[in-house]
Amino acid sequence: MAKPVGNYSHVTRVPKGADLIVTSGQIGTDSHGNLPPKFNDQVTNTFSNIQKILTSETLSEKNIIKVNIWATEQIDWNFLDAQWDELFPSAYPAMTVAYISALGLPELKIEIELWCAEF
């Protein structure tokens, strides 16, 4: 099998007895519910929201086992990878990325869901 084409792993193993924690898809709203029109600004807010959820559950990068990313526009991978590396410097879990025509609200451009295991 070839190496992953990006910053992810082909497989993530969940330890026996681990608790599974799944986030809803996080979107690019700020803390006041405002949604910026630019894609990368939504990415920044999405990662901020992810950090808040992980902190509230006392989880870190070592707990992330799967990431699903849905986007309605082409992802600026240099920008997204920099956001990822700032929050999770060494975590490359299993990942799925899909480009879709729309998310739950027409102005949403990206949504990221995390699957985590607490062990």
Instruction: Report if residue 103 sits inside a domain.
Output: yes
Q: Supply the pLDDT for residue 39.
A: 98
Any domain includes 71: yes
Instruction: Evaluate whether 71 touches 100 at the Cβ level (below 8 Å).
Output: yes
Q: Reduced to 3 states, what is the DSSP secondary structure of residue 20?
A: strand
Query: What is the pLDDT confidence band of residue 90, given thresholds at 50, 70 and 90?
Result: confident
Q: Would you say residue 3 lies in a domain?
A: no
Residue 95 lies in a domain: yes
Residue 13 in domain: no
At 33 the pLDDT is 95
pTM recorded for the entire structure:
0.91
Residues of the domain holding 102: 25-118
CATH at residue 53: 3.30.1330.40
